[in-house]
């Protein structure tokens, strides 16, 4: 990010548009951007419709692309151009390898002082309106020009482009089969410039159902299927705060009718954690990629490797090739949309609770061919990663039920399908908590008094003065053994 003084000058220059500039600091780099038509292989397309959003259309089409190939729409960030996204994002590499066309819409300072897509204004973000309608017209034009498969159209975008990508998924779920929101905002997070800042800095606090309602309201009566959505976010992003990724996850899992509890978790290159949320068929409908330590931008990984792509530049950050993993998630590599990193390993079978005590549950399951390790989840959260097919979960509460699932993990870190759940209950009695005055605790035998003070029996914790005014909660963790539990039993 630019120094505060520069941001301040920019804000004064752009006036009322500053709040909407998600890549506000990038405005200084926009002067260095070459026109999109200067990029080799990037072609300007005109006559794509009435163009109510005043956008420009550019496309990249691999040589000898057959009819019926997929189509990807890629939206740049503020202060950027179609050329920037073409040159740095890595999408042309995978268009060549996997065989699909890419449309690069471009906005300008005539629409927004910082050349941002207007994700926060219903006049541009709603179905049939402004910029959103222009992008939809570009899709129709591309389908006509290149014979693209209308069932396999996808949209991705960075920052303000990410916010617009989310809006397009909500407004045109009948057009886009999937999307990717990179350092962006939930669909319809803001409906005014004033509200844009609250979204950007994570000040909007809605339930998953409320977020989902914002999507459903964009195309009333639409019954699905809904687009599959990938969400990319750096944990050190101070331009679009990381909570936006969680809200995007809440929004799209709710739209798909899914829990916000991950179906699986995997560690990927670039300090990236991937959590997947599977539909009833076991296919990921929503994926959240969180990149530890990354700031605001699109994740790239320059190099010639199969999983590498892109070029580092302003807001193109060297961490992991997001375009590769997104393309695989959408199934553009002809995998059908399996989890990134390879074909999914099958789910372990025979998961059972072998031995149960009052504080532990021992699990066992069958071996999965090709597994390097296993992930054990308790109530949806990972609690173990054993190399073998047994695991003992310890430190549990007595007389409490826990539900477990297990998934195999390949040598490349790919997490396989999740096993059927098993529920086990620890033995013993549930802890008993009692809230009373110190005088009453002593009278009931839960505590003792010495020198005017009260001490819990068993733990010996000091409970304060021995009187009827001081009140505490004591938890009996074993017969005759009490601990302070004022913060919750």
Residues 132-147, mean pLDDT to the nearest whole number: 97
Q: How confident is the model at residue 34 (pLDDT cuts 50, 70, 90)?
A: very low
State how beta strands 153-158 and 71-75 pair: parallel
Q: At what angle do helices 208-216 and 243-255 cross, to 10 degrees?
A: 60
Backbone angles phi, psi at 332, to 5 degrees: -70, -20
pLDDT exceeds cutoff 80 at 430: no
pLDDT at 358: 87
Residue 14 pLDDT: 34
pLDDT per residue over 437-477, tens digit each?
A: 999 999 999 999 999 999 999 999 999 999 999 999 999 88
Structure tokens at 391: 């695991």
Is the omega angle on the peptide bond into residue 225 within 30 degrees of 0, that is, cis? Answer: yes
pLDDT digits (tens, 9 = 90+) for 50-95: 999 999 999 999 998 999 999 999 999 999 999 999 999 999 999 9
Domains of the chain as residue ranges with CATH: 4-330 (3.40.50.1820), 352-425 (2.60.40.10), 432-484 (no CATH)
CA distance 295 to 317: 8
Work out the mean pLDDT of the chain and round it to a whole number: 87
Mean pLDDT, residues 283-305:
95
pLDDT band at 154 (very low <50, low <70, confident <90, very high): very high
Residue percentage of the chain with pLDDT more than 70: 89
Please give the Cα distance from 73 to 95 (Å, whole number). Answer: 12
* Chain centre distance of CA 48: 33
361-406 per-position pLDDT tens digit: 999 999 998 888 998 988 767 788 999 999 999 998 888 889 899 9
Percentages helix, strand, coil for the chain (3-state, rounded to 5) are 25, 30, 45
| Predicted confidence band of residue 413 (pLDDT cuts 50, 70, 90) | low
Q: Is the pLDDT of residue 20 over 90?
A: no
Is residue 412 predicted with pLDDT exceeding 70? no
Which residues have a catalytic role annotated?
Answer: 159
CA distances from 297 to 26, 250, 374 (A): 11, 22, 33
| Per-residue b or e along 156-165, where b marks 16 or more CB atoms closer than 10 Å to that residue's CB | bbbbbbbbbb
> Looking at residue 119, what is its pLDDT?
97
Eight-class DSSP state of 145: H
pLDDT of residue 280: 85
CA-closest candidate to residue 232, choices 270, 187, 278, 287: 287
Give me the DSSP letters along 30-85: HTTPPPGGGSTT-EEE---S--TT--EEEEE--TTPPTT--EEEEE--TT--HHHH
C-alpha to C-alpha distance for 474 and 464, rounded to whole angstroms: 13
What is the reported pLDDT for 489?
A: 73
Q: So what's the pLDDT on residue 219?
A: 96
Please state whether the predicted TM-score (pTM) of the whole model is above 0.75.
Answer: no
Res 41: pLDDT: 84
Alpha helices, DSSP H, located in 224-375: 243-255, 322-330
Q: Which of 68-82, 264-278, 299-313, 397-411 has the lowest mean pLDDT?
A: 397-411
Torsion of CA 141, 145, 146, 147, to 10 degrees: 80
**Mean pLDDT, residues 17-36:** 37
- Give the distance, in angstroms, between the CA of residue 8 and the centroid of all CA atoms in the same chain: 31
Check pLDDT > 60 for residue 38: no
Higher pLDDT, 343 or 43: 43
Residue whose structure tokens are 């580092």: 312
pLDDT at 121: 96
H or E element, residue 468: none
Per-residue confidence (pLDDT) for residue 457, from 0 to 100: 95
R_g (Cα) of the chain, nearest Å? 27
- Residues composing the chain: 489
> Is a pLDDT exceeding 50 seen at residue 36?
no
- Locus of tokens 């110190």: 438
> Which residues have C-beta within 8 Å of that of residue 76, sequence separation ≥ 6?
82, 84, 85, 104, 106, 157, 158, 161
């Amino acid at each position: 990010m630019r120094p505060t003084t520069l941001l301040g000058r920019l804000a004064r220059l752009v006036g009322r548009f500053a709040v909407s500039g998600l890549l506000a600091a990038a405005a200084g780099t926009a002067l260095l951007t070459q026109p999109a038509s200067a990029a080799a292989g990037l072609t300007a397309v005109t006559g794509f419709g009435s163009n109510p959003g005043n956008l420009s259309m550019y496309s990249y089409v691999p040589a000898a692309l057959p009819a019926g190939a997929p189509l990807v729409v890629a939206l740049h960030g503020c202060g950027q151009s179609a050329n920037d996204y073409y040159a740095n994002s890595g999408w042309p590499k995978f268009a060549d390898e996997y065989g699909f066309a890419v449309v690069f819409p471009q906005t300008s300072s005539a629409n927004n002082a910082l050349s941002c897509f207007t994700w926060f204004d219903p006049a541009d973000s709603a179905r049939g309106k402004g910029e959103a309608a222009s992008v939809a017209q570009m899709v129709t034009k591309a389908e006509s020009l290149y014979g693209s498969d209308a069932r396999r159209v996808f949209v991705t975008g960075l920052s303000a482009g990410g916010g617009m990508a989310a809006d397009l998924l909500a407004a045109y779920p009948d057009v886009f089969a999937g999307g990717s929101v990179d350092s962006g905002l939930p669909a319809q997070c803001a409906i005014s410039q004033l509200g844009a800042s609250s979204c950007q800095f994570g000040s909007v606090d809605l339930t998953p159902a409320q977020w989902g309602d914002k999507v459903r309201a964009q195309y009333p009566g639409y019954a699905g299927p809904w687009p599959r959505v990938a969400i990319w976010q750096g944990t050190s992003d101070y331009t679009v705060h990381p909570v936006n990724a969680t809200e995007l996850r809440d929004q799209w899992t709710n739209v798909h009718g899914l829990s916000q509890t991950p179906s699986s978790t995997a560690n990927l290159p670039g300090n990236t954690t991937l959590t997947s949320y599977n539909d009833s068929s076991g296919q990921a409908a929503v994926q959240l990629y969180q990149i530890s330590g990354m700031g605001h931008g699109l994740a790239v990984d320059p190099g010639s490797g199969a999983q590498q792509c892109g070029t580092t530049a302003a807001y193109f950050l060297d961490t992991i090739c997001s375009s590769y993993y997104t393309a695989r998630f959408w199934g553009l590599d002809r995998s059908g949309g399996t989890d990134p990193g390879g074909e999914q390993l099958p789910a372990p079978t025979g998961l059972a609770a072998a031995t149960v005590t009052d504080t532990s549950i021992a699990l066992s399951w069958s071996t999965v061919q090709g597994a390097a390790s296993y992930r054990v989840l308790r109530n949806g959260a990972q609690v173990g990663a054993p190399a073998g097919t047994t695991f003992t979960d310890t430190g549990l509460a007595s007389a409490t039920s826990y539900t477990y699932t297990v998934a195999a993990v390949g040598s490349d870190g790919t997490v396989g399908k999740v096993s059927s759940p098993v529920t086990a209950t620890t033995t013993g009695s549930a802890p008993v908590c009692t809230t009373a005055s110190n005088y009453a605790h002593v009278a009931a035998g839960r505590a003792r008094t010495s020198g005017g003070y009260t001490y819990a029996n068993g733990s010996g914790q000091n409970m304060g003065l021995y009187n009827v005014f001081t009140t505490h909660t004591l938890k009996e963790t074993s017969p005759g053994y009490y601990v302070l539990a004022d913060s919750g039993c």
